[in-house]
Each structure stands twice: as C-alpha cells, then as structure tokens.
Amino acid sequence: MEQLHEAEELLRGQAQLWQHMFAFADSMALKCAVELRIPDIMHSHSSPITMSQIASSMDSSSHPDISYLTRIMRLLVRRKIFSAHRPSDGGETLYGLTHVSRWLVNDSDKSLAPLFLLENHPLMMDPWHRFSQSVKEGGFAFKKEHGSEVFEFASQNPEFNSMFNSGMASTSRVTIHAILEGYKDGFGCIGSVVDVGGGTGNLVSEIVKSHPHIKGINFDLPHVVATAPEYNGVTHVGGDMFEAIPNADAVIIKWILHDWGDEDCVKILKNCRKAIAEREGKVIIVEVILKPEGNEVFEDTGLVLDLVMIAHSSGGKERTEIEWKKLLEKGGFPRYNIIKIPALTSIIEAYPQ
C-alpha cells in the first residue's frame, strides 16, 4: 500500500514538473491574444462571438489561420481567461470575455494590456535567463543582458521607452483607482500633499480632483516634470529625492521604494520625514507587502513581483511587513498603519511619532 502511494505521488510530481516546464506557454498564448486584440474584438460586440467573427474582425490585411487560433483559444478557455459556450442547436462555439480578460481591453481606463505586453517582450524576458549568473556573481540581471540599467536603456531606445512608459502608465491608472477608492478618508484631514517620484502628475492630479481642498505638488526629476501637463491645483517641482523633498502636510510615494535597496530607502524616508517635520504629518507609502505564507488573492503575485525586481531593477525588492517596519524606524517613522486597498499594493500610513 505504501509503495502504491509513493508511486502515485511520484506520478503527480512528474505531472507538476511538466506544468512548470511549460508554464511560459500560458503567457505566450495570452500574449498572442492581446497582440491580436481579441479582448477588444470581443468587447466591441454586445454578446459572445464565433471564431469566424473573431478572425474576420482582425486586421483586414491579415489572413488568420483559424486552426492555430482555435488551438490557442482552447488553452486560454481552459485557463478561464475566455469563456466558450456551444449552443444547444449545434451551432459554432461562442467565445466571450471573463473577469480576467476584461483587464486586457485597451479601450478601458483600467486596462493592463500595455503592462502585459511589456513584461512579456523579449527585451524584458531575456534578463530572466541571467538569474543563475546573478546568483553566482552578484549584479543586476537586466544590465548583464543589455549592458545598461532599465531606465538608461529606455532613454537610449525610443521604441522601448514608449512601450515601457505605456506599461507603467497602465498599472499606475489601476493603482490610482484603488487608492482613491480604498483610502478616500485618508486625504480629508490634509491641506497639502507632495507626490514623490510622481512622474507627470497623474496620481496627485486625481487626488486633488477628488479632494479640491488639497494643494498638490508633483515632484520628480527636472526633465520628467518638464513634460508634465498643467493640472488645476497642482504645482510641478523638479529635484532629487535623495537631496530634499518639498514641504507638505503629507508625502505620498507610490511604487518607488521597491526600486531601491535598504540604504537608499532610508535616505528617501529621512527626506520625507524632513518634508513633513514642522507639520507633524504623515507619509503614505503605496507598495506590496509580502506574506510568503499568506493565502490572499495577490500573495503569489507579490512573490513573483519580487523576482521581477531581480530581473529588471538595480537592487530593488519587495518587502515583508517586518522589513518595512525596520526601514520605517530607521527613516524616522516609529508608528505605522497598514490599510488594504483593492489592488496588488497596500497603503502603509507612516507617522513620525
């Protein structure tokens, strides 16, 4: 009996290994669907559609191989990314969107399609093949593969830079929606807020739009804010967060600290502390909080995102609550609250006393 159980476990282990071996196939099949704009085609119809309708709605200059497309969609239906239903009258199978593929509709302001295409582009995938080299030698996987760090590489490659910016903007929009929905009460008691590393000002402008009493400051490198559009109630300020941060009642810093090592994070947090010192304000940190043993909806993604930081960042990482607590204390914030929002990230509300 024991030998039979062992044989069954070994067989399951082999099956699991096959799944891991070809795990990339899920991403590649879905990348194909996004490139062909299948979610957009389905969204443009008011009801599920046939494979023939999908094919005929593609670029008119193409001649889709429906047999290939059917096989790719078969896997994506099994993964519940698309739905499939065979009518009772024996007609063609009808395909539709699910709660997964709705996030890939380009026309939506919550679309993650640009980020999906970015993360699965060969230029972003190649550094993953450098992991073992990075473990043995140290150093950054992206730089080992491409000869420069990701932001420098983007500045020298306009096409990649455009794709990179589109991907970052898409996830930023989703996160902004989650912040405004899940932290609406957190902005009521502040008169001013500075967004550190705010890019062209999307986040702070949305905060001010929802809370018109707030004076917004968008803070980033001079060449970044130089291209920022004007927003009512928002001032753009150029500078370096490692040197000084503009004063405000509150500092918000979204998905910035995970790009940096602990020592650099402490420097940034100390400057955040100085920026709110006279006002006894707070710092609003929007980041992933890792829970390696957790079973909530985004826990696995957090661990994977930590590996993305190995692949693409220059010393950055995702952190557990204990790691965040240590950083906050060193940065001058002995007290904090964690607030969950409907997103991959959470809010860490940190106070100087």
Catalytic residues: 258
State the pairing for strand pair 250-254/192-196: parallel
Q: Which of 105, 95, 89 is nearest to 69 (CA)?
A: 95
In a 10 Å sphere around its CB, with 0-12 CB exposed, 13-18 middle and 19+ buried, how is residue 82 labelled? buried
Query: What pairs with residue 74 in β-bridges?
Result: none
Return d(Cα 262, Cα 269) in angstroms, integer.
10
- What does DSSP assign to residue 127? G
Return d(Cα 327, Cα 321) in angstroms, integer.
10
In a 10 Å sphere around its CB, with 0-12 CB exposed, 13-18 middle and 19+ buried, how is residue 165 labelled? middle
Q: Which amino acid is at 312?
A: H
H/E element, 112: none
Tokens describing residue 117: 């295409």
- The owner of tokens 């026309």 is 107
Tokens describing residue 289: 């909080």
CA angle, 213 as apex, 222 and 178 as ends, to 5°?
70
| CB-based contact 165:223 (threshold 8 Å) | no
Return d(Cα 288, Cα 214) in angstroms, integer.
26
Return d(Cα 148, Cα 141) in angstroms, integer.
10
Return d(Cα 22, Cα 149) in angstroms, integer.
29
Return d(Cα 293, Cα 274) in angstroms, integer.
36
